[in-house]
A = this chain, B = another copy of it.
Amino acid sequence: MTNTSTVTPQDLSAFGPARATVPGAPLSADELRQTHAFWRACNYLALGMIYLQDNPLLKEPLKPEHIKNRLLGHWGSSPGLSFAYTHMNRAIKKYDFEAIFMAGPGHGAPGVLAPVYLEGAYSDIYPDKSLDEEGLLRFFKQFSFPGGIGSHCTPETPGSIHEGGELGYVLSHACGAAFDNPDLIVAAVVGDGEAETGPLATSWHISKFLNPIRDGAVLPILNLNGYKINNPTLLARISHEELENLFKGYGWTPYFVEGSDPDSMHQAMAATVDRCVEEIRAAQAEARRSGVAQRPRWPMIVLRSPKGWTMPSEVDGKKMEGFWRAHQVPVADVQKNPVHLKLLEDWLRSLKPEELFDSEGAPAAEIRALAPTGNRRMGANPQANGGVLKKALRLPDFRDYGIAIGKPGQIEAENTPPLGRFLRDIMRENMTNFRVFGPDENTSNKLGAVYEVSKKFWIAEYFPEDAGGTELAVDGRVMEMLSEHTMEGMLEGYLLTGRHGFFSTYEAFVHVIDSMFNQHAKWLAICNQLSWRKEIASLNLLITSTVWRQDHNGFTHQDPGFLDVVVNKSSAVTRIYLPPDVNSLLCVADHCLKSENYVNVIVSDKQQHLQYMDMDAAMAHCTKGVGIWEWASNDQGREPDMVMASAGDIPTLEALAAVAMLRDEFPDLKIRFVNVVDLFKLQPDSEHPHGLSERDFNSLFTEDKPIIFNFHGYPWLIHRLAYRRKNHGNLHVRGYKEKGNINTPLELAINNQIDRFSLAIDAIDRVPTLKTTGAHAKEKFRNQQIACKRYAHEHGVDMPEMVAWRWPF
Contact = CB atoms under 8 A, between A and B. Distances in A.
From A165, A197, A242, A738, residue with most partner B Cβ within 10 Å? A197
Contacts of A208: 234, 238
Interface stretch (A23-31, A115-123, A181-189, A517-525): A517-525
Contacts of A567: 716
A340 interface: no
Contacts of A245: 245-246, 248-249
Given A151-B552, A196-B481, A482-B194, A232 B472 contact: yes
A9 B462 CA distance: 7
A196 B201 contact: no
Contacts of A741: 147, 150, 526
Contact of A234 (B2, B146, B205, B797): B205
Interface stretch (A375-383, A407-415, A463-471, A592-600): A463-471
A719 interface: yes
A152 interface: yes
A798 to B, nearest CB: 9
A77 interface: no
A215 B217 CA distance: 43
A741 B233 CA distance: 29
Contacts of A347: none
Interface string A684-716: 000000000000000000000000000000101
A interface, size bucket: 35 or more
Given A319-B468, A463-B9, A719-B719, A509 B514 contact: no
Nearest to A717: B720
B152 A522 contact: no
A465 B4 contact: no
Copy number of this protein in the oligomer?
Answer: 2
A68 interface: yes
A605 interface: no
Interface string A182-218: 0000000000011011111111110010000000000
A468 B323 contact: yes
Most chain B CB within a 10 A radius of its CB, from A283, A485, A522: A522
B242 A294 contact: no
A796 B145 contact: yes
B568 A1 contact: no
Interface stretch (A127-135, A295-303, A427-435, A640-648): A295-303
A624 B713 CA distance: 32
A779 interface: no
Interface string A244-266: 11111111010000000000000
Nearest to A246: B249
A511 interface: yes
A395 interface: no
A515 interface: yes
A295 B337 CA distance: 44
A798 B462 CA distance: 62
Interface stretch (A351-359, A384-392, A558-566, A754-762): A558-566
A728 interface: yes
A73 interface: yes
A243 interface: yes
A433 B551 CA distance: 39
Given A232-B472, A514-B514, A555-B526, A196 B200 contact: no
A689 to B, nearest CB: 15
Contacts of A297: 1-3
A555 B154 CA distance: 9
Given A146-B792, A231-B470, A461 B250 contact: no
Contact of A168 (B165, B198, B237, B568): B198
Given A234-B460, A249-B243, A554-B152, A1 B298 contact: yes
Interface string A286-329: 10000000111111000000000000000000110011110000
Interface in A448-502: 456, 458, 460-466, 468-472, 480-486
The CB with the most chain B CB atoms within 10 A, among A246, A295, A463, A728, is that of A463
A272 interface: no
Interface string A46-78: 000000010000000000000011101100000
Interface string A25-48: 000000000000000000000000
A366 interface: no
A245 B249 CA distance: 5
B552 A744 contact: no
A279 to B, nearest CB: 5
Contacts of A267: none
A469 B316 CA distance: 14
A330 B785 CA distance: 34
A783 to B, nearest CB: 19
Given A146-B744, A742-B148, A232 B294 contact: no
A177 to B, nearest CB: 19
A166 interface: yes
A120 B9 CA distance: 52
A752 interface: no
A557 interface: yes
Given A72-B551, A242-B251, 18 more contacts: A53-B796, A146-B796, A147-B741, A151-B742, A165-B557, A166-B556, A197-B198, A197-B482, A197-B485, A201-B204, A230-B470, A232-B470, A243-B249, A246-B250, A323-B468, A323-B469, A325-B469, A567-B716
10 contacts: A166-B509, A166-B556, A198-B486, A228-B440, A234-B460, A242-B249, A567-B716, A568-B714, A568-B716, A719-B723
The 9 closest A-B pairs by CB, nearest first: A165-B556, A246-B249, A198-B198, A72-B552, A201-B202, A245-B249, A237-B460, A511-B515, A201-B201
